[in-house]
Amino acid sequence: MITTEFTKADLTRTATLEGMFRLNSTANGLTGDGLEAPGSEPTTPAEQFEGRNGYDASFLPGWEIDLPLATGAAAQDMRQLRDGSGSVELTYQNFSVVMSASRRLSMITAVNINGQESRRMSRIDKWSFDGRLDKTDQWGDELYFRNDLDRGHMVRREDPIWGTFEEARTANVDTFHFTNSCPQMAGVNQRTWLGLEDHILKHARADGMLVTVFTGPFFSDHDLPYRGALVPLAFWKVVAIVTEDGRPSATAYKVSQARELEELEFVFAGYKTFQISIQQVMDATNLDFSALLPFDGFTAHERATGEPLVELIDRLENIRI
């Protein structure tokens, strides 16, 4: 059974990871993406984000899905913007981010994907701070400098790049803000995890080709302490579509990078993606996905049987929508 808890073996391995990273980061001066020394990262001024549409709760036809926010004690961990509005939602072009104050990482990202209006844009080189927050509220390159950690996109770069040329270009640049990154080993960038959106898009209504995707880290007390941060050991996705036959469908997925963090050799064969229930994501994150639970077959199965349901996705064709 796969849950957000980790085995004793996993926890024993993570106890040694911080020392391994320290050794690796000074061994040969490698900088991964060719990063310059931390301190030179640009900041996008707050006023430049004016007019961003952000996540659209009414994006899917006939299905209103409000941005899921943290509940209970976790609600106190949502970072508010500096503008005094009390808002926790950072709006970008076609997506939104809610930050964790304690982790300085995204708690949840929400993106709308329009497959029919998708455009291709070249990657950019620079990641930037978001000026609507203090720099101390978001991890910059000091977390990624001279080690094997990637600045992993939570909202996949290609997903919000749709609309007019200007809108698509804005969305491309917006995805390269530190608020949209979490530290990931290179193994995260493999076919099954990155291909989820594309595969599910194919099952959306042909006349709409619309998908909503929520992504974030599983925060745990067992996450890896490193350079003052806690590196998440696992990530989740929740995907909502209206299927070809007009049926609302919601599914959830988990990927763990605990073994990749240990190996530092990027053993891709050990990296696995699982389909899980949205209820499991909700229980582990305290994010309110209750509106999606009636449309998730895995959650329905768990309620009927009382047993958690987890299935390995070794091929995208194994996904049950």
**Nearest-10 crossing angle of helices 278-285, 297-305:** 80
Q: Which entry of 153, 199, 222, 301 is annotated as an active-site residue?
A: 153
Known active-site residue 153: yes
Q: Is 114 annotated as a binding residue?
A: no
159/190 Cα distance (integer angstroms): 16
> Cβ contacts of residue 79 below 8 Å, gap of 6+?
88, 98, 99, 100, 101, 133, 137
Residue ranges for the known binding site are 189
Q: Which residues are known catalytic residues?
A: 153
Residue ranges for the known binding site for Mg(2+) are 189
